[in-house]
Structure 1
Amino acid sequence: MMRARRASPRAEILLPSPRTPAVGVVGVLMSPHTRQPTEHSLRLRNRPSTQFVSDTTRRSVEMNSRGPGSASQAADLTAPRIRPEVGRYLELNPDGAMRWDDTEALRRTTRDRALAVRGALEPVFSSEDLDASGVPVRLVLPSPDVMDVLVWVHGGGWVHGDLDGYDGVARSLANRARCAVLSVDYRLAPEHPFPAGLEDVLRVLDWARSRYGAVAVGGDSSGGNLAAAACLAARERQLDLATQLLVYPVLDHGDSEYKAAFRRRYRGFIGQRDFGAAACERIAWLWDRYDPEGSHRDDPLAAPLRAASLSGLPPATVILAEHDVLRGEGEHYADRLQDAGVPVDLLTFPGQIHGFFQMAGVTPDARRALELAGDAIRKAFDSASPHPRTTPFDQEEQR
């Protein structure tokens, strides 16, 4: 049975005034060199908002002043600033070089880019491609005796993305969370529009649950959409999931106030005159492939932000990028989860862009995000109800 959970207040991380001593300190930005706090401490207030994450001593980032569906007021006071290594990557890999009119060419290009930016693959105990109730999956084991499993759903706008492009993410999460990771090779649009991909994810979740481990689900971008939708479907079926990991998820199709502000603010971003408009148009293009008739745009299983209620869902970790057209809907979803009594941690990486989570070979923020995500998953598994599984995954698969 899905259990209702009481949410604790989510911390709002504020940069205190230099004249005012920090009170109720709950955390600090740490320098990796001195292991001492940076110049700004962090204060707790009893309302939801974003926690900005840093792994180095660098410029302070103002907290955004948020309301559901609204743009960040504080961040809009200054021009966007991006991590230098990410800026260099974008200059060398402009979206204008992508063949959006040729699906197969798009898939090849995005796959090549994913392989180029993932960095060195972490060693794991085993990695094996399997069939899970008719759905191709890759099972990654950090050790032979793990009992719990994360079902990971890759991004790619429902149109591209594959197991190899996300192998680095799967391995890192497996090692950090000390769990098995089932990476799902779900059917892609436009050949297989909604709800084909979601149906594949749900089949894999059932397959994983039949092996009695505690089960979590996660994904990035469109994979985050499918993970969030899978949690809604699991709730209706009264299936318990340990946690959900949503990395800059696609949650709605609407042209929100946040997206309108994104269009205006990101003109000329990193030398690309129409960066903001292009990002919004790209999202619309992908939605048209996923739901070509436009008949499912208000279905919560396609657009989870449209759900009437988010109560009874598993605890969530939401990871966002500061310079991402999807940031607004991610913040809104986190607010709604907390309002519904669902424990939620919201982490926003300053200076980052959509896609950074799989760029461990480019930016240290990717490695930090993977560490935080893995820790959150492990914590959720440790808190989950005991389960009857006694057979490690590798022994099960050898039968």
Structure 2
Amino acid sequence: MKIGIDDIGLFVPEHFFPLDELAARHNIDPNKYLVGIGQELMAVPAPDEDIVTLAANAALPLIDSATRASIATVILATESGIDQSKSAGLFVHSLLGLRADCRVVEFKQACYGATAGLQMACALVRQRPQEKVLVIATDIARYEQNSEGECTQGAGAVAMIVSENPRLLEIHPHQGRYSLDVMDFWRPNYRSTALVDGKLSIDVYLESLQHAWQNYRADGGLALTDISYLCFHQPFTKMAKKAFSVFENIEPEAAKALGDKAYSTSQLYGKAIGNCYTASLYIALLSLLDKTEEDLSGQHIGLFSYGSGSVGEFFSATVVKGYQAHSRRQQHARMLAQRTRLSHAQYSDWFYGNNQPASADYSTPRVTTGAFRYCGAEGYRRLYESTAQQLQMAS
């Protein structure tokens, strides 16, 4: 039985802020950001956007009547949770008008959560092949203003339909996993921005990749010589180069044959979006599928997912013949090209202003033009609006 990703879609906010201007504000050489970490733009959410609207907007193009009827589970992965109890996926389930006999859960383990969701989805489909699973990775990466992490901020969501006989990617059963309790990146409940030990996080990422790869091979996974492309979790796009160095050290001949072409195309979307935590690996995957000119049919892709704290997993997939006919690359390109540049003052207000206060009642200004927006709160109940249906929904 072949199981994998049948459809996949990307959504990012309509606004961005350029990293060269941020560098000027920080009084440093712009190449520290543009070259040093490989970032050019960061996607910036408006006051009426959150992880729910990003997720729902990413999933909407994937949902037709037949798909809506077959989705039996929604798995939403995020580390930007909006509630300590209720899954953000339930808001998405309602906005998309999915069937009531559907399980909905939220997964959390830093940036790794979506991969856990994808693997669970494959297992569910294997058990009940007539059903499909909607997996969504959605996040807003926030760090303190003027901190070292500010340049790696971003926002976005990736939605995936997991099914039997997928049209895009067949996920292989082999897995390599590695978990280690370490404080390299964390966000306590009382903070809106993350804390990070940057050097430690990179070191643990690379350690995790090496162990996960070895575990994947021991599980019967492909040899590096059988893999054509690699996608890595990218908190910043230069991390892909650092990750590839692990293979250069442990399998130098195979890595040399692959070269940087194995991962360079997967960096293109990330440069223009920034870190999206759980969605970052899958943005890299979409970048590879959308931006590679040659036909990837039949090619094997290796994927490494990492979530600080920490959990890493290496797995692989095969590109399905005819995948290009089901690509949404034109839609993604148009969305990225039509974004609006923000001034530094507007960016600062949106990212660091009190636009979504811890208040019982407030409303957000109408800024975005997507199908769904966040309206504010009444009695601490979050309110969402479907602009497509002119339907307001409350928790």
Same-fold call, TM > 0.5? no
Give the structure, 1 or 2, with the largest relative contact order (CA under 8 Å, sep 6 or more).
2
Specify which structure has the higher proportion of helix: 2
Specify which structure has the higher proportion of strand: 2
**TM-score by structure 2 length?**
0.29
**TM-score by structure 1 length?**
0.29
